[in-house]
Chains A and B, each alone.
Chain A
């Protein structure tokens, strides 16, 4: 019962945060509301007994990535007149919703067709660092290494893109 109340609260918060992201004109406000979504999602992960992911969500997403975004937003010192003038924003939103509804309906139908499953109580170690780590370094070792390579490439790419360049002329 308590879990259901928590779920509803987190779900409502995350949806509100997402709607805020879409509606706020200034990206700083949007980022703030996205953080709300991220944190409520972290709560949902905790409800799903995913301890490690809960922690990673808070540290990596809500912490690192979002602070990076906010840092860049502040760094660029965005004024109102820097922002694009989006006159037809609500028109686009209405059209977008009209287009999205069939997609949402389809996916919800698919979800509904999945047999109902009551959450059973999982074992003690489910979602812990040790278990995830074991799976990660046994079954997923190669993808893990490839991801490390990807991060390296992204690092180099970011330096190349944002760094000073003479060739661009």
Chain B
């Protein structure tokens, strides 16, 4: 059923090799005169670009096969085999992973190119690209892994790179703390993933622990265990994809360089959780109740993050909360068993969110690392390309037809309605309006009105072509990729959903066309209302308001960080200090002290035998031999 394709393993290997080469070069030269940036740039871009072309080859090879046979696998070696657990270092390309593969490598390559311009002149230029390549390699392992274990390797790899890149500017303690926060919160989620994986192996893994075998055995899961597995895996997804209650790390992760925020914390890594749930759709489809929980968590995350996003003043924080919010949509999609809709939103979101982040990066670059939107304004004239591309991105993010975001978001909301979750649909539409509001609030404050900081405004200029060209390409993508999945009502044929069908287990309900039209009308109305309010309030210039009441609560993110700190971290620290003050010296240390005392005393007792003459030691040896011989000769007759 599955064909082998011996070049699959090369796809992650190329960026990983790049990371190794660049990392070694950087390590060897960082204390001396640094190598020219051009060398690093070329080395860094080769791997992702080659991977992208190979991803296209994979896509076309799959396209030429019969839909139900679209599986390519490559197993370079057996990783380990312990008892029944047999894990191959294997790669699997099916419609789902090939789609992810293509856009991850595509956007990854673009962001590598953009970074050449953005990071020019920065310290540790080589280290940055080594990490970025390492990240891409890990992400590709995650996408291509043919089983949960290989996927987990990539999962941890991207987590590591995320940590390394968030705290890339190590001179500032806050950045390092943000990196730590991301890493620790991700560990909590990973525990869930590992537990879920272990349960999965325990339940049905003994006949083969890769996705295809698991898929065949998924019906053997008992309800209780299956439900637990679903929720545990979702805990993992929550950590990586920043859902309630583990979303707190993502806004802080914006401390990293902006291209990193675009690639890792918007386009690719954070969508790994959605990808994972879609990967395990064969399990989730058996447990709709678990899916409902996921969908509600997702839509509530979307709502919460949208509320926070409305009151932020840091341009990257706004985009970060919009990412959390959009991730919530994706989870709502996969939660209501509309896996292809969720994945399609991942796909379109990658384009427009990467675009928005890169655009924000251009603004920040032009304004010399100014991130406060209340210090910007009127940049439309100075940065026309950035403005035009970001406008497309903002329209796509808001879900304005005919941009890509509209089709994917609307598909999710419509599927929620069609699968009998009107509550989720309603909140989704509300969030769509809020999204439009805060996105255009940002756009108006940054690009329209009067310049609030005259000096910075005068120095602002359009960034070099190496940064604008990726913006234009991404803008074209953000505007157009929606056509890949046009629903029937717009004369399309849902090509992406059909393409993904062999990898996923989902059902398409049949509903009346009027319901569909009603849903579309509602979301368009929400978007229009959102944009109008934003225009009324901020379209003609506005001053930074004093937040009061609910707005103040929203600006401070409902004090969730503070609540976590008070409810979890402080008690944890208190328990820790209690243990270190009382338990440790009186219980654990006592045991250790007793052992050392025992060893000292017995050592003194045995010291008698250590006479220091080699001959005597030979005698001991012979005595031992003699005793052994005595007992051995008992057994010979």
Chain A interface residues (CB < 8 Å from chain B): 96, 99-103, 105-107, 109-110, 113
State which residues 603-637 of B face A: CB under 8 Å. Answer: 619, 622-623, 625-627, 629-630, 632-633, 636
Partner of A100, one of B626, B632, B633: B626
Which residues of chain A are within 8 angstroms of B629 by Cβ–Cβ distance? Answer: 102-103, 105-107
What is the CB-to-nearest-CB distance from B615 to chain A, in angstroms, rounded to a whole number?
A: 9
Which residues of chain A are within 8 angstroms of B623 by Cβ–Cβ distance? Answer: 99
Which residues of chain A are within 8 angstroms of B630 by Cβ–Cβ distance? Answer: 102, 106
When the two chains form their complex, are residues B632 and A106 in contact, meaning their CB atoms are under 8 A apart? yes
When the two chains form their complex, are residues A109 and B633 in contact, meaning their CB atoms are under 8 A apart? yes
When the two chains form their complex, are residues A103 and B625 in contact, meaning their CB atoms are under 8 A apart? yes
Which residues of chain B are within 8 angstroms of A105 by Cβ–Cβ distance? Answer: 629, 633
Which residues of chain A are within 8 angstroms of B622 by Cβ–Cβ distance? Answer: 96, 99-100, 103
* Known contacts A100-B622, A106-B636, then 9 further A-B pairs from the complex at CB < 8 Å, ordered by chain A residue: A99-B622, A101-B626, A102-B626, A102-B633, A105-B629, A106-B632, A106-B633, A109-B633, A113-B636
Most B Cβ at <10 Å: residue of A101, A105, A106, A113: A106
Q: How many A-B residue pairs have CB under 8 A?
A: 30
* CA gap between A33 and B630 in the complex, in Å: 31
Q: Which residue of the partner chain B has the closest CB to A98?
A: B626
When the two chains form their complex, are residues A99 and B626 in contact, meaning their CB atoms are under 8 A apart? yes
* CA gap between A107 and B625 in the complex, in Å: 12
What is the CB-to-nearest-CB distance from A54 to chain B, in angstroms, rounded to a whole number?
A: 32
Chain B interface residues (CB < 8 Å from chain A): 619, 622-623, 625-627, 629-630, 632-633, 636
* CA gap between A103 and B628 in the complex, in Å: 8
* CA gap between A106 and B626 in the complex, in Å: 9
* CA gap between A143 and B414 in the complex, in Å: 80
* CA gap between A27 and B630 in the complex, in Å: 33
- The contact sample of 21 A-B pairs, CB cut-off 8 A, is A96-B622, A99-B619, A99-B622, A99-B623, A100-B622, A100-B626, A101-B626, A102-B630, A102-B633, A103-B622, A103-B626, A103-B629, A105-B633, A106-B629, A106-B630, A106-B632, A106-B636, A109-B633, A109-B636, A110-B636, A113-B636
* CA gap between A102 and B625 in the complex, in Å: 9
Which residues of chain B are within 8 angstroms of A102 by Cβ–Cβ distance? Answer: 626-627, 629-630, 633
* CA gap between A101 and B630 in the complex, in Å: 9
Q: Which residue of the partner chain A has the closest CB to B615?
A: A92
Which residues of chain A are within 8 angstroms of B636 by Cβ–Cβ distance? Answer: 106, 109-110, 113
What is the CB-to-nearest-CB distance from B172 to chain A, in angstroms, rounded to a whole number?
A: 56
Which residues of chain B are within 8 angstroms of A100 by Cβ–Cβ distance? Answer: 622, 626
The 9 closest A-B pairs by CB, nearest first: A106-B629, A106-B633, A102-B630, A103-B629, A102-B626, A102-B629, A99-B626, A109-B636, A109-B633
* CA gap between A99 and B636 in the complex, in Å: 19
Which residues of chain B are within 8 angstroms of A107 by Cβ–Cβ distance? Answer: 629
* CA gap between A105 and B636 in the complex, in Å: 11
Which residues of chain A are within 8 angstroms of B626 by Cβ–Cβ distance? Answer: 99-103
* CA gap between A168 and B336 in the complex, in Å: 83
Q: Which residue of the partner chain B has the closest CB to A107?
A: B629
What is the CB-to-nearest-CB distance from A117 to chain B, in angstroms, rounded to a whole number?
A: 19
What is the CB-to-nearest-CB distance from B348 to chain A, in angstroms, rounded to a whole number?
A: 68
Q: Which residue of the partner chain B has the closest CB to A110?
A: B636
* CA gap between A5 and B632 in the complex, in Å: 34
What is the CB-to-nearest-CB distance from B627 to chain A, in angstroms, rounded to a whole number?
A: 7
* CA gap between A106 and B622 in the complex, in Å: 13
Most A Cβ at <10 Å: residue of B619, B622, B629, B636: B629
* CA gap between A168 and B95 in the complex, in Å: 75
What is the CB-to-nearest-CB distance from A111 to chain B, in angstroms, rounded to a whole number?
A: 11
* CA gap between A113 and B622 in the complex, in Å: 23
Which residues of chain B are within 8 angstroms of A113 by Cβ–Cβ distance? Answer: 636
Q: Which residue of the partner chain B has the closest CB to A101?
A: B626
* CA gap between A83 and B332 in the complex, in Å: 95
* CA gap between A96 and B625 in the complex, in Å: 12
* CA gap between A38 and B623 in the complex, in Å: 28
Which residues of chain A are within 8 angstroms of B633 by Cβ–Cβ distance? Answer: 102, 105-106, 109
